[in-house]
């Protein structure tokens, strides 16, 4: 088997997805940077306010010392300093820790037992005490709690960061919803227009077939043309169903898979071996046969492209109590693990030609119309790749 090379996974449309992912990453990084810059700045502001409150309390302590030690000197200034402190809770204790004075606490709560003792404990945890020198080696100690403004500001950056994250999350969800709605409109418009454009040449082709039949053309030639015309009608029907939810009918899964394999086998390489592994019983599922055959054909065609030469494409059906699994296996070059999800995005392809819409259409048909899941189950380079379709069984 050919050895897989790095170049096989690079394609102009792959680069477009890389650029999109890069832009998303850059926007997320910018938002995080803004959030943490805001957090850092607000914390710095909190530290500045805390320092300023410390200076106020030092001035308050000096003023209190003047009031206690002065008899004749004017007390207007120190009294004004003490009275102007209306937002920082203050406690003064003696050397034994007994509370002598308090200010700016809730007047109703101070009547409760142990309230001031708890506040004193909190004040000791929040800030270092300031010493009030009474002279004669007598001291009192001033404790203070952070102001309400400082407490609120301390939690503000975290609230702000939460708001930024919420804004980013809501914006991302809104952007995704808008983008998906736009994609749906594009899908629908493209599919309807394709079906419309195919309709005219198909009608013309059917007319020419009748002329050939009447003019004595070889029946085998006319039969082959009829098959191709029927195939074009089926493709037109598939495109016409994209954009409107199709009606699901009970379908024989084995027959559907066998028909798809038979069609792919006649148009595939003789070096590729096709297998169908199916349980020994009949399985009926609600399906849109036209669309689901399209999914199987897309997966088989991608498997054939991945093989490139000699190999095997196997469709294996298994089931659990709640799900039925359809695994499309191939012995091709494999899929890198970081591309497991990318391959189902519109425009992703490793081929030189093509729009990369096959797997994206398959995902839409399986998940939107059949309420199932399609994903890469596993992939080993140059050995085995398994793409799984999981359909929920009726309980």
Domains of the chain: 41-146 (no CATH), 246-392 (3.30.565.10)
| Residue at token pair 């066998």 | 258
Residue 15: Cβ-neighbour burial (10 angstroms; 0-12, 13-18, 19+):
exposed
pLDDT class for 184, splitting at 50, 70, 90?
low
Which range, of 131-140, 141-150, 164-173, 204-213, averages the lowest pLDDT?
Answer: 204-213
Q: Are strands 272-277 and 311-319 parallel, antiparallel or unpaired?
A: parallel
Q: What is the pLDDT of residue 244?
A: 65
Q: Check whether 145 has a pLDDT greater than 80.
A: yes
In the chain, what percentage of residues exceed pLDDT 70? Answer: 79
Buried b (16+ CB within 10 A) or exposed e, 333-342: bbbeeebeee
Collapsing DSSP to helix, strand or coil, 318 comes out as: strand
Token pair for residue 313? 């494409």
Report the share of the chain in percent with pLDDT over 90: 14
Q: Kind and range of the H or E element at 316?
A: strand 311-319
Which range (21-30, 97-106, 267-276) has the least confidence?
21-30
Rg of the chain (C-alpha set) = 39
User: pLDDT category, 15, cuts 50, 70, 90?
Assistant: low
- pLDDT range class, residue 14, cuts 50, 70, 90: very low
Question: Is pLDDT larger for residue 282 or for residue 153?
Answer: 282
Greatest mean pLDDT among 293-297, 350-354, 373-377 lies in 373-377
Q: State the Cα–Cα distance between residues 160 and 164, nearest whole angstrom.
A: 6
């Amino acid at each position: 088997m050919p050895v897989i090379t790095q170049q096989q996974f690079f394609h102009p449309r792959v680069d477009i997805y890389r650029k999109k992912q890069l832009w998303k990453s850059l926007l997320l990084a910018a938002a995080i940077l803004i959030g943490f810059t805001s957090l850092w700045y607000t914390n710095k502001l909190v530290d500045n306010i805390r320092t300023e409150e410390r200076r106020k309390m030092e001035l308050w302590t000096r003023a209190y010392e003047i009031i206690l030690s002065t008899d004749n000197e004017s007390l207007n200034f120190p009294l004004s300093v003490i009275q102007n402190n209306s937002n920082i809770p203050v406690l003064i204790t003696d050397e034994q820790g007994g509370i002598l004075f308090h200010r700016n606490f809730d007047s109703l709560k101070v009547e409760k037992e142990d309230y001031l003792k708890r506040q004193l404990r909190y004040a000791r945890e929040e800030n270092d005490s300031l010493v009030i020198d009474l002279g004669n080696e007598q001291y009192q100690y001033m404790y203070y709690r952070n102001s309400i403004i400082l407490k609120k500001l301390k939690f503000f950056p975290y609230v702000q960061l939460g708001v930024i994250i919420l804004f980013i999350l809501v914006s991302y969800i809104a952007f995704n919803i808008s983008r998906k709605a736009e994609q749906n409109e594009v899908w629908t418009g493209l599919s309807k227009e394709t079906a419309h454009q195919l309709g005219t040449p198909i009608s013309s082709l059917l007319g020419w077939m009748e002329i050939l039949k009447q003019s004595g053309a070889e029946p085998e030639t006319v039969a082959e043309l009829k098959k191709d015309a029927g195939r074009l009608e089926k493709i037109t029907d598939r495109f016409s169903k994209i954009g409107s939810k199709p009606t699901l009918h009970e379908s024989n899964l084995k027959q559907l898979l066998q028909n798809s394999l038979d069609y792919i086998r006649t148009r595939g390489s003789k070096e590729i071996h096709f297998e169908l592994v199916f349980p020994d019983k009949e399985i009926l599922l609600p399906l849109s046969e036209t669309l689901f055959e399209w999914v199987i054909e897309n997966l088989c065609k991608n498997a054939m492209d991945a093989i490139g030469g000699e190999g095997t494409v196997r469709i294996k059906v298994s089931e659990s109590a709640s799900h039925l699994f359809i695994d499309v296996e191939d012995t091709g070059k494999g899929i890198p693990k970081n591309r497991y999800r990318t391959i189902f995005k519109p425009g992703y392809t490793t081929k030189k030609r093509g729009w990369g819409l096959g797997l994206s259409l398959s995902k839409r048909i399986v998940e939107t119309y059949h309420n199932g899941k399609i994903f890469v189950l596993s992939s080993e380079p140059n050995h085995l790749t398994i793409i799984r379709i999981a359909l929920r069984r009726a309980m």
